[in-house]
Structure 1
Amino acid sequence: MNGTIWCLHGAVGMAEDWKGFSVPGWAVKRVDLWRFLDCCPMSMPGFGAALNREVEATEGVNVLLGYSMGGRLALHALLEGGPWAAAVIVSAHPGLEDEGEKAARRASDAEWAAKALKGDWKSFLDEWNAQSVLGPARELGGNRQLLLQRRQAVARSFMDWTLGEQQALGGRLAEIDCPLRWCVGERDAKFRALGEKTVDSSQLWVAEGAGHRLPWEAREAFAKMVGEFLEQALS
């Protein structure tokens, strides 16, 4: 079955991060998430509705693939309903349940927003990539220096799309009416545990030897898995 895979990048990411990703028989649409925040604030459900409207105007079979922040946004698009035949969620958080943790995350992301908007850009990037959850520094495909011209949207994402504002969505996944594959890295202990808690084992794929940035750490295995999943789910 031919169609389009709509790929959503992560925080401080770029559409170009998906440049090396391909699945035989499928077109790949690399979505620039920053354009949704260029003019004004937008909530996560608002993003989901906006993306769905955009996709509904196209023809063919559509698959949604989201990584990290893009995975959280993808969940909102799926829960808003929409023309999705299948979905792949990668290294994503289903949402915090504790209000204290949410408040702490909002405060932390407010600091990141200030650094993204007003700080030295290279220092901001270096500090972001030094986070232990992201694992070893790895080139994802896009030149992050080019994001300097989008820094206002990047900063806004830490406010509008912070995990601290996200509802806990784990209990709502049964509302998603298309086949779903949840992907985590074997070495990404935190997000592997979240994945194991959030979805049934039949929906979970663990990338051997990979960490949080598994689409780039296990490129061939990930692309192969996506192709096989879509063939099985949509045949």
Structure 2
Amino acid sequence: MIKLSALHGFLGTGQDWDFLEGRLKNVSLEKEDLFSKKQHSYGETLWEFGDAFSRKAALSDSKTPVLMGYSLGGRLALHALLKKPDYWKAAIIISAHTGLKDEKLKALRKESDASFNQLLQNEPWDVFMSKWNSQEVFKNTPILHREESHFDKKLLGKGFLEWSISRQEDLKSRIESLNLPIFWITGEKDAKFSDLAKSLNFKHPDSILWIAEQSGHRVPWQIQPEFISKINQFLDVIR
């Protein structure tokens, strides 16, 4: 039996993965809820999260542990993999960034995230959500409806400020050298993330890249049947 720990993206919830329930073969799905008022703390920084999350996962049971993360959840997953690479048996990384090298780009991202956080904390929810979904990265993707009542705004602020890509190291070479199978997924209409994915040169022979046709950044929810089929194929290889 595979234990699939799933990390959602920013402004996501554990329920985002509900469509996978009962549709993955011999899989126990563990859905995190990172920004809910019921969420448990995993530390402040990206590395602290990776360490705490992996330690918690290792205490749970003896099932084959696989880690999956989308967007921000994918970046958090990368830190968990690198903190405890001997624990995880495989990973599924969706629409995630390996990290910025350019300090000027990091500074711009820091400013952008701070601006979004100010909007989140001070403006009506609908105004914030409209601005968030209008970003270029979400072009040609479905809008995922979000209720303000589900979220703790302080935790969302932490996501903007502490888990910003502006605070992330460039992890590319370390990810490539991981000795475990990685299934890296992007959408073909998400050119920036697909170009980044194409540059990855994985060490493990069972690591693969899937650039999903007719999809943008939100691959799992845009082409659900194809996504489920591909995940099952990948998990069959590591069983």
TM-score (norm 1): 0.91
Q: Deviations over 1:25-80 (max 9, x none)?
A: 11111111226987696100100011101101111111100000000110000000
Partner of 1:143: 146
Please list, as runs of the form range in 1=range in 2, the aligned pairs for 1:67-86 lying within 5 A after superposition. 67-82=70-85, 83-86=87-90
Contact 2:188/2:216 (CA < 8 Å) preserved in 1?
yes
Contact 1:79/1:175 (CA < 8 Å) preserved in 2?
no
Is 1:224 matched up with 2:226?
Answer: no
Partner of 2:209: 204
Partner of 1:186: 188
Please list, as runs of the form range in 1=range in 2, the aligned pairs for 1:1-235 lying within 5 A after superposition. 2-21=1-20, 22-34=23-35, 42-59=44-61, 60-82=63-85, 83-136=87-140, 138-140=142-144, 143-147=146-150, 149-200=151-202, 203-232=208-237, 234-235=238-239
Hey, what's the Cα distance between the residues in 2 that align with 1:109 and 1:93? 15
Instruction: After TM superposition, give the deviation of residue 132 of structure 1 in Å.
Output: 1.9
* Residue identity matched to 1:229: F
2:35 aligns to what SS in structure 1?
helix
**Structure 1 residues 208 and 40: alpha-carbon distance in aligned structure 2, compared to 1, 3 A threshold:** closer
Aligned length: 231
* Residue identity matched to 2:50: G
- Return 5+ residue gaps in structure 1 as ranges: none
Q: Deviations over 1:124-167 (max 9, x none)?
A: 01110111211246254x633333x4111111110000010100
* Residue identity matched to 1:166: Q
Tell me the percent identity. 34
Contact 2:106/2:166 (CA < 8 Å) preserved in 1?
yes
**Structure 1 residues 197 and 137: alpha-carbon distance in aligned structure 2, compared to 1, 3 A threshold:** closer
Across the aligned residues of Structure 1 and Structure 2, the Cα RMSD in angstroms comes to 2.1
* Residue identity matched to 1:109: D
2:217 aligns to what SS in structure 1?
coil
Instruction: After TM superposition, give the deviation of residue 103 of structure 1 in Å.
Output: 0.8
* Residue identity matched to 1:72: R
* Residue identity matched to 1:119: E
* Residue identity matched to 2:219: L
Contact 2:11/2:35 (CA < 8 Å) preserved in 1?
no
* Residue identity matched to 2:154: Q
- Return 5+ residue gaps in structure 2 as ranges: none
Contact 1:13/1:144 (CA < 8 Å) preserved in 2?
no
Hey, what's the Cα distance between the residues in 1 that align with 2:39 and 2:31? 16
Hey, what's the Cα distance between the residues in 2 that align with 1:40 and 1:90? 21
TM-score (norm 2): 0.89
Contact 1:34/1:153 (CA < 8 Å) preserved in 2?
yes
